[in-house]
A and B are shown apart, each in its own frame.
Chain A
Amino acid sequence: MSIVFEVKNLKKKYGDFLAVNDISFSIEKGKCFGLLGPNGAGKSTTIECIEQIIDYSEGEIFFEGSLVQEKTLANFGIQFQQTSLPAKLKVKEVLEFFSSLYQDARDMSELIELCHLTPFLNQYHDKISGGQRQRLLLAVALCHKPKLLMLDEPTTGLDPQARRNLWELVKRIKQEGTTVILTTHYMDEAFELCDEIGIMDHGKMIATGNPKFLLKETFETTVLEIPLEVISEEQVNSLSSDIHIGDRFFEVTVKDLNAALAKLAVLNLDLSGINIRQKNLEDLFIHLTGKDLRS
């Protein structure tokens, strides 16, 4: 696959504050790149620099081998994290309006079907649910068939079902061959949708790569979550030296899962409440930055 989009040494300064600090990454055609990080990490600023909503201070952005210019932007579609639509319009009118701004707009009925807008097409856009609103904003971003779609925290604040619906939608868009940049602070979302991720903190890119590869590269361990009331601290210390005491569980990180389970069997405990999980992106983020992802 060929590189379709590339950011080189991007910086964005607000006075002395570096909101984006010398980041670089590239994306292959038709892939989804996830920008992960806590609030204030610089994800949205990066997206807005790419779309040229704000001017960046230094760096270069390339699309299909050429520097991004005003005419290139016609290939980009964006769903902002914080935005509003023109007031007092119905969903259908919003789509008609944004479609009329483009010379080569996507067929309306195709867009309505793709984003499942039919049930609320004639409702005012400020009267629809959060999930419906995100689907509408996605439709607005897609109304000119962009080659690169940027989604800035599209599922923040949505209930689990609405999040899953949107994930399915993003997967369909990917299947159409659209390249996607997704910012999120939900690790499960990144794991589900992204082929590559970049983890940002304090404006810097601190790790990039395939999520599974990154986890494997960083961790060769498994986590045992044992309810606090089941096991004593003395017993848990016999399993591993890497123990974290949570609200309800001892989180025991072990390199040899079989050996740890054998020891637990010997202790003759009620093991019906224990969880065994692999390290995930949340753990990776804590490992890399020393803090919780949503702190």
Chain B
Amino acid sequence: MNFSFKRVLAVIKIRNREFYRDLGALGWVILFPLIMVLTFGYIFDVDQGEQYKVGYWGNYTTPEIPHIQWVKYSSQEEALEKLKYQKIDLAITVGQKPAVLWSAAKSPKSKLAKEIMHLHLLPKHTSPFYEEQIEGRVLTYLDWVFPGIVNLNIMFMGLWGVGWVIVRQRKLGVLKRFKASPLTSFEYLLAQMLSRLIVMIASSVLVYGVANIMHPFNIEGSYLDLMIFFIAGSMALSSVGFVFAARMTSEELCNGILNFITYPLMFISEIWFSLEGSPEWVKLIANYSPLWQMTDSMRKIMYEGASLASLAGSLIYLIVFGFVFTLIGSLLFKWNKE
């Protein structure tokens, strides 16, 4: 059967109609990220009990200090780069006297961390810290967490809005009806992905617009680059749904498996908390997560002004990931529950 874009458009049209006529789903897709942004953004911005991350390098026996988490780096440059973008709150040079305490100029968290360090370390040192400040922008938790929440919503929409919907349509016999028409599996899957992409873009733009009114985001990078990563990441996450929905006929089993995938992905992909200071194996696994690749790249574009060229590796990874998983999903795909 020859490929027909007319058939793809027809499926996109009915899928979108189904979505916008389901007011519950429509509301949830928009409300979920907004509620998350409001809740987590503001709760964690005023949290007094959190840990402050202090970077160091070289041989140093780190003392136990309340609220301080030590993070070791291989060089001063690496630690200061992390401090610049507030992935850590302080950096300390201990191989020289006096020790140098680096803080981020505009960061309230950095100031608090410095106070804690003074309180606990100053009496033990014969000479006071020599203090240095590096310039960086003020990055609140809400700034940092926002791309993660939007992408988390994308992951849910991709896995449930594509994967679970396919399983439901197979179970109900909708796919059997489609199989008795000229529609091919590739056209069907492509239409599912594209229709979801439209919803993902529309809902994320809306969420960004509303969140930006409440808390203006100062985007340093290119909106176009941001959109390119958004599309590549959305397609990669949707493609995971294809693989799991390729043959499944039980919505309950599908739900369980999707939960089994999303929870670990959510925790290793730096959605809520930075992975700085986490064991190396966690960071290694995170590198393979499309959610992490997407979120980390978008944060770099938004707050570090990173260019597309500097993030080419991540972009290629997302595109290849999406292509391979879509291909596997297409090859495994069955219309009916024989």
Whether A and B are associated in the same complex: the answer reads: yes
Contact surface of A with B, Cβ cutoff 8 Å? 51, 53-55, 70, 73-74, 76, 78, 80, 82-89, 93, 97-98, 100-103, 140
A140 vs B174: C-alpha distance when bound (angstroms): 13
Q: Looking at the complex, which of B110-118, B179-187, B261-269 is the stretch in contact with chain A?
A: B179-187
Q: Within the assembled complex, what's the spacing in Å between the Cα atoms of A55 and B338?
A: 9
Complex contact A53–B179 (CB within 8 A) = yes
* In the complex, per-residue mask of B258-281: 1 if CB is within 8 Å of any chain A CB, else 0: 000000000000000000000000
Contact of B13 among A70, A83, A97 (CB under 8 A): A97
Interface pairs (30), CB distance under 8 Å: A53-B179, A53-B336, A54-B336, A54-B338, A73-B180, A76-B180, A80-B173, A80-B177, A82-B173, A83-B173, A83-B177, A84-B169, A84-B173, A85-B174, A86-B14, A86-B18, A87-B18, A88-B17, A88-B21, A89-B14, A89-B17, A93-B17, A97-B14, A98-B181, A100-B6, A101-B181, A101-B182, A101-B183, A102-B181, A102-B182
A-contact bits for B13-29, CB 8 A (1 contact / 0 none): 11101100110000000
User: What residue of chain B has the Cβ atom nearest to residue A143's Cβ?
Assistant: B181
Q: Is the CB of A97 within 8 A of B10?
A: yes
For B10, the chain A residues whose CB sits under 8 A away are 97, 100-101
Q: In the complex, given contacts A86-B15, A86-B174, A89-B18, what are 17 additional A-B residue pairs having Cβ atoms less than 8 angstroms apart?
A: A51-B180, A53-B176, A53-B180, A53-B335, A55-B338, A83-B174, A84-B172, A84-B174, A84-B177, A85-B174, A85-B177, A86-B14, A86-B18, A88-B17, A89-B14, A97-B10, A140-B177
Distance between A152 CB and nearest chain B CB, rounded to angstroms: 11
State the 6 A-B residue pairs at the shortest beta-carbon distance, nearest first. Answer: A84-B172, A83-B173, A88-B21, A100-B10, A88-B18, A101-B181
Q: Mark B55-76, 1 if CB is under 8 A from A, else 0.
A: 0000000000000000000000
- Which residues of B come within 8 Å of A, CB atoms? 1, 6-7, 10, 13-15, 17-18, 21-22, 169, 172-174, 176-177, 179-183, 335-336, 338
Residues of A within 8 A of B181 (CB): 98, 101-102
Residues of B within 8 A of A53 (CB): 176, 179-180, 335-336
CA distance in complex: A108, B21 (Å) = 24
> Closest approach, in angstroms, between the C-beta of B186 and any C-beta of chain A?
14
Q: Nearest chain A CB to B125's CB is how many angstroms away?
A: 69
Q: A-B pairs with CB below 8 Å: how many?
A: 63
Which residues on B sit within 8 Å (CB–CB) of A55?
338
* Contacts known (A86-B174, A100-B6); A78 close to B14, Cβ less than 8 A: no
Best-buried of A51, A55, A102 by chain B (most CB within 10 Å): A102
From known contacts A86-B18, A88-B21, A93-B17, infer whether A100 and B177 are also in contact, taking CB-CB under 8 Å: no
* A54 to B336 alpha-carbon distance, docked (Å): 8
Chain A's closest residue to B180 (CB) is: A78
Q: How far is B180's CA from A137's CA once the two chains are assembled, in angstroms?
A: 12
Chain A residues whose C-beta falls within 8 Å of the C-beta of B169 in the assembled complex: 84, 86
CB distance from B65 to the nearest CB of A (A): 58
Which residues does chain B contribute within 8 Å of A78, judged by CB atoms? Answer: 180
Residue numbers in A under 8 Å from B183 (CB-CB)? 101
Q: When chains A and B are docked, how far (Å) is the Cα of A140 from the Cα of B14?
A: 15
B7 close to A100 (CB less than 8 A): yes
Which B residues are CB-close (under 8 A) to A140?
177
Shortest distance in angstroms between A13's beta carbon and chain B's nearest beta carbon? 12
Instruction: Please report the C-alpha to C-alpha distance between residue A54 and residue B175 in the assembled complex, in whole angstroms.
Output: 12
Of chain B, the residue at the smallest CB distance from A101 is B181
Q: How far is the CA of A103 from the CA of B5 in the complex (A)?
A: 12
Q: Which single residue of chain B is at the shortest CB-CB distance from A150?
A: B180
Return A183 CB to nearest CB of chain B, in Å. Answer: 15
Bound together, the chains give a CA A55 to CA B15 distance in angstroms of 28
CB nearest neighbor in B for A137: B177
B183 to chain A, nearest CB (A): 6
Report if A70-B173 is in contact (Cβ < 8 Å); known contacts: A53-B180, A98-B181, A102-B182: no
Chain A: CB-nearest residue to B22: A88
Chain B residue contacts of A76, Cβ below 8 A: 180
Taking the closest CB of chain B, its distance from the CB of A203, in whole angstroms, is 16
Contacts of B21 in A (CB 8 A): 88
A74 contacts which of B182, B335, B336 (Cβ < 8 Å)?
B182
Q: Which residue of A lies closest to B187 (CB)?
A: A101
B176: chain A residues at CB < 8 Å are 53, 80, 83
Instruction: Kindly state the separation between the CA atoms of A73 and B178 in the bound complex, as whole angstroms.
Output: 13
- Residues of A contacting B173 with CB < 8 Å? 80, 82-84
CB distance from B176 to the nearest CB of A (A): 6
Q: Give A55 to B334 CA distance when docked, in angstroms.
A: 12
Q: Say how far A145's CB is from chain B's closest CB, in angstroms.
A: 14
Taking CB as reference atom, which chain B residue is nearest A74?
Answer: B182
What distance in Å separates the Cβ of A56 from its nearest Cβ neighbour in chain B?
Answer: 11
Bound complex: CA A102 to CA B178 (Å): 12
Name, among A83, A89, A103, A140, the residue most crowded by chain B CB atoms within 10 Å (CB to CB). A83
Distance in angstroms between the alpha carbons of A87 and B7 in the assembled complex:
18
Most chain-B CB neighbours within 10 Å: which of A86, A89, A98?
A: A86
Alpha-carbon gap, A93 to B15, bound state (A): 12
- A263 → B minimal CB distance (Å): 56
Q: Which B residue's beta carbon lies closest to that of A87?
A: B18
B residues within 8 A CB of A83? Answer: 173-174, 176-177
> Smallest distance from the beta carbon of A156 to chain B beta carbons, Å?
15
Q: Which residues of A contact B6 (CB under 8 A)?
A: 100
Q: Which residues of A contact B182 (CB under 8 A)?
A: 74, 101-103
- Give B9 Cβ to nearest chain A Cβ, in Å: 8
Residue of A nearest to B165 (CB): A87
B6: nearest residue on chain A (CB-CB)? Answer: A100
The residue on A at minimum CB distance from B173 is A83
Least distance between B95 CB and chain A CB atoms (Å)? 66
Q: State the CA gap A88–B182 with chains docked (Å).
A: 22
Q: How far is the CA of A55 from the CA of B335 in the complex (A)?
A: 12
